[in-house]
Structure 1
Amino acid sequence: MAAVGLASIMLPFSVTGAAVVLPQLSGSLHASVTDAQWTLNTFNITFAALPLAAGTVADRIGRRRVLLLSIALVGLSSALLTLAPSMMLVNIARTVQGCGAAGVLAAGAAILAHATVGRQRQIAFGVLGTSFGTGLALGPMAAGALTQTLGWRSVFMLVAALSLPAWACATRAPESNNPDHPGLDWPGLLTFTASLTALSVAFVAAGAHGWTQPTTLASFGGAAALLIGFAWLELHQGPRAMFDVRLFGKPAFVAVVCQPFTVTLGFVILLVYLPAYLQGAGGRSVAESGLLLLPMTAPVLILPLIAAFIAARTSLRAVLTAASLLIAIGAAALTTLTDHGSWLLLAVPLLPFGIGVGLAFGVMDNAAVSTVPVANSGAAAGIFNTMRITGESLAVSAAAALLTTLTARHLRTSGIDARTIAGQAIQGRIDAANHMMTVDGVTHAFHAVGLLLAVLSTIGAILTYVALAPETTALDLDLGRDDGETRIRAIQGTQQRGQRVDSTADLHTRRARIPGHE
């Protein structure tokens, strides 16, 4: 628990810390807008693409071995970041850091699941969730304080320091593996990673050159082709496939898998780009910009356990729908954002945003595995986590392009110059010659993004409420279990809905019609 908990704190801190220090990092190393954006994108791409592959490798060669290697990768790459003299080395180190983070995420959870049972397991995964919440809640504040006192390199030094006790504890973790696990899906892994990279390239090109330029359109076309190729490969890979595509035939599962795109989209955008706005447009210190995010980040630390209790008393459907509606309210309230606003005014959109995300984080994983038969729960969890991190990765690159485009429209200059000024502005570097106009442009860009997020979250709330209706999920949930008591509950629930099930044999006949059950 200590090993996985310490290692897990490093992951969100690697995201939030890099976002907070980005203005100082890019200014110190004289980075272009594109290079600075790749500091965020390189980590996110490898972190999103590799968890399923890392989990497969961990099953084959040993989960503790992969955890130790992954912690070492995160620690060594973070140490390299403290010494990097150029943006090229920074981005290489961030790529390696993302690979290590993916391994920590996959191997850490697998070790906890294998080494604990019953109440021990509940406590262990509670610690895991708290570790992630701690990294998200305290990351911006700690990164801001460190940057202001010791410089931006100290943030990565802290991650490197955390890796030492995590690695030492992991050496005592029990080893386990599954030599019968199907091999790694190399074609699927390569096409999925390539499609994510192409999408990120497309969004960076859109921000730098425009959405209709040949380079941008070619990148989007390449990403679409790779994504189609990935789907085709997964349909023909059989048990080796990264994704069990049969699960996407269940509307309830699709609704839950799409939740990260409506729940975490806005959260990640604000977590990454609001500190830069507060520093550049608002003139706040690095430490103050991190502290101002507490109304959004603190609920993510506190609410997940409470959300699980509420869902037990009500339903996953009610909690996830309410979470999306709260996020929609917070996103709509972003229209009150100003560069000179008080802490209280800033809390108006951030608090409902944080409450909604905190509630969703407490039940999304459970919802993902609860909407499929138990035999498919592992695949469902892997797909869900991959989709969640993929959504976060795409949110970072897409938001940069959208904010840049919207900001550039408010500037008197046009073309590349306007996009360069706008790109620097969303990274916290406001052009002194056009300060007032640039600040006004960035502020209006955040307002527009807030309204877009409000619409997406409202649609997500409606789809979640419809897709998770009890009559469409209850029988599937019960039929996915094999114990006699659950079969009785399934029969009783079906009879209460006015349907007739004559016997357990009849029930098994119905079960055989569910995809995945021969």
Structure 2
Amino acid sequence: MVAVASASMMLPFSVTGAAVALPSMAAHLGSSVGAAQWMLNGFNITFAALPLAAGSLADRFGRRRILLTGIALVGAVSLLVALAPSMPVADVARAVQGCGAAAVLASGAAVLAHSTSGRRRQFAFGILGSSFGTGLAIGPLFAGALVEAAGWRSVFVLVAAMSMPAWLCATRAPESCNADQPALDVTGLVTFTAGLACLSFAFVQAGAAGWSAPSTLLLLAAAVALVVLFAVVEIHRADRAMFDVRLFRGPEFAAVVCQPFTVTLGFVILLVYLPAYLQGVADRTILASGLLLLPMTAPVLLLPLAAGHLAARTSVRAVLTCASALIAAGALLLTTLHSNGSWLELALPLLPFGAGVGLAFGVMDNAAVSTVPVENAGAAAGIFNTMRITGESVAVAGASALLTTLTAARLRGSGLSSELATRIAGQAVQGRVAGAHHAALTEGLTSAFHTLGLVLAALSTLGAVLTYLALAPHRAAEQP
């Protein structure tokens, strides 16, 4: 449990820490908006695409072995990013680091599922949720302090340092495997990864060239075609597929596995882009930006363990529905955001966000792996985490495109050319605000966050309703 928790803590810090370090990193390396965005997108694509493959490999060749490999890869490549001489080198290294993160994510949950049962499993997955929450909670604050004290490279050095004790602890974890696991589904893996990459490319291109540009539309069409091809391939492979699409015919399974789309999507968007907003248009320091996020991040640290006990006394249905409702409330209150707001005004929308995500983190992983036999826990964890990280990856890329597009539209209204407005807006989303356009960027980006809040509120409300209906008591009683 200590091994998996300590390894898992690195993953959210690798996301939030990199996002906080990005403005300083991009300025120091002289990066363009697009290249800087791929420092986040490259990691997210491989992180999202590979948990299924990692889970299958863990079941087949050994869950501890894949866990150790993943920890080593995350740590070693993080050190490489810290030494990167240019942003393209960092982009490629971060994509490789995402591969290691996917291995940790899938194999860690499988190790816990194989080693525990009953109340011990509930407690272990509560600890796992708390470890993710800890990484999310301390990420912006620690990263902000490190960047101010020692520069952006120190954020990645810290992840490398965190990997060493995690790897040593993992050497003591019990080994387990399922020798009858089918061979790796290479066709499914390639089509899914390519589809996700095309979608992320489309979002980046939309922010630069517009949503109606031929290049954007072509990439979106390619993404849809590849995802459809992936579904066809997986249905055709049936029991040999890495992603059993047929499982989604069951509303209970679909509700649990798709829950991350309504729970973590908005949370991750705010973790990545709100610090840049606070540093850029609000003129806050990096450390102050991290402190201002505490109303959202602290509940994710404190609530996962309590959520397990609450689910035992009520139901998973009640906890997950309440979580989505809280996030919807926080998203709606995000429309009150303004650049010179006080800590209390910022805490008003962020606290419900954090409370909802903290509750969900304590029960989601356990609910997912408990739907399958323990010998297939790696594959179940892979499916669940693929859905979770895919949602986060799409959210990070999509939110950047949406914020850039809306802000650029406001700038064009003030007389700037389309190309210049888009470039300045993209820099502002990443926390680099041009002084000559500070007032227009403040107004435009704040309005864009208000629109984003409305979109997230609608999505989370829909998630709350669907979860409540899909996990109805009469359905839960029919589960094997």
- The verdict on a shared fold, with TM-score over 0.5 as the criterion, is yes
In structure 2, the gaps of 5 or more residues are none
Q: Report what 1:333 is aligned to.
A: 333
- CA deviations 1:450-481 (Å, max 9, x no partner) are 0111111112212222222222x13322xx1x
Q: Is the 8 A contact 1:276 1:426 kept in 2?
A: yes
* Aligned twin of 2:166: 166
Bigger relative contact order (CA 8 A; separation at least 6): 2
Q: In structure 2, how many angstroms separate the alpha carbons of the residues matched to 1:461 and 1:97? A: 34
Matches within 5 A, 1:59-78: 59-78=59-78
Q: 2:453 aligns with which of 450, 464, 472?
A: 450
C-alpha separation between the residues in 1 aligned to 2:358 and 2:162? 25
Structure 2 counterparts to residues 107-506 of structure 1, below 5 A: 107-117=107-117, 120-368=120-368, 379-411=379-411, 412=414, 413-471=416-474, 473-477=475-479, 480=480
Q: Name the SS for the 1:410 alignment partner.
A: helix
Residues paired across the two proteins, number: 477
| CA contact 1:373–1:476 (8 Å) conserved in 2 | no
Distance (Å, rounded) in 2 between the aligned partners of 1:258 and 1:290 = 29
Partner Cα distance (1:357, 1:172) in 2: 31
Query: What displacement does 1:307 show?
Result: 1.8
Amino acid in the other structure paired with 2:185: D
Contact between 2:125 and 2:363, CA under 8 Å: does it hold in 1? no
| Structure 1 position 404, deviation (Å) | 0.4
- Matched residue type, 1:55: G
Determine helix, strand or coil for the equivalent of 2:363: helix
Contact 2:305 2:362 in 1 (8 A): yes
Amino acid aligned to 1:134: T
**Following TM superposition, by how much is the alpha carbon of 1:379 offset from its aligned partner in structure 2, in angstroms?**
4.8
Partner of 1:483: none
Quick one: structure 1 residues 328 and 120, their matched pair in 2 at CA, closer, same or farther if it must change by over 3 Å? closer
C-alpha distance in 2 between matches for 1:59 and 1:384 = 15
Structure 1 match to 2:51: 51
Cα distance per residue 1:276-319 (max 9 Å; x no partner): 00000111111111111110011111111222222222222222
Relative to structure 1, the CA distance from residue 258 to residue 114 in structure 2 (aligned partners, 3 Å threshold; closer, same or farther) is closer
Larger mean Cα displacement after TM superposition, 312-321 or 227-236: 312-321
Larger Rg: 1
Which whole-Å CA distance do the structure 1 matches of 2:136 and 2:99 have between them? 19
The one-letter amino acid of 2:395's match is A
Structure 1: runs of 5 or more not aligned: 481-518
Identity %: 68
- TM-score, with structure 1 as normaliser: 0.89
Change (3 A) 1:83 1:374: closer
* Alpha-carbon distance between aligned partners in 1 of 2:120 and 2:457, rounded to the nearest angstrom: 39
Moved more, 208-217 or 331-340: 331-340
SS for the counterpart of 1:409 is helix
Distance 1:122 1:459 in 2: 28
Shift of 1:352: 0.8
Post-superposition Cα deviations, 1:239-259, rounded to whole Å, max 9, x if no partner, equal: 221111221111232233332
Deviation digits for residues 227-246 of structure 1, max 9, x if unmatched?
01000000011222111122
SS in 1 for 2:179: coil
Q: Tell me the C-alpha RMSD between the 2 structures.
A: 1.8
Question: What letter is aligned with 1:154?
Answer: S
Counterpart of 1:513? none
Q: Which stretch shifts more, 461-470 or 282-291?
A: 461-470
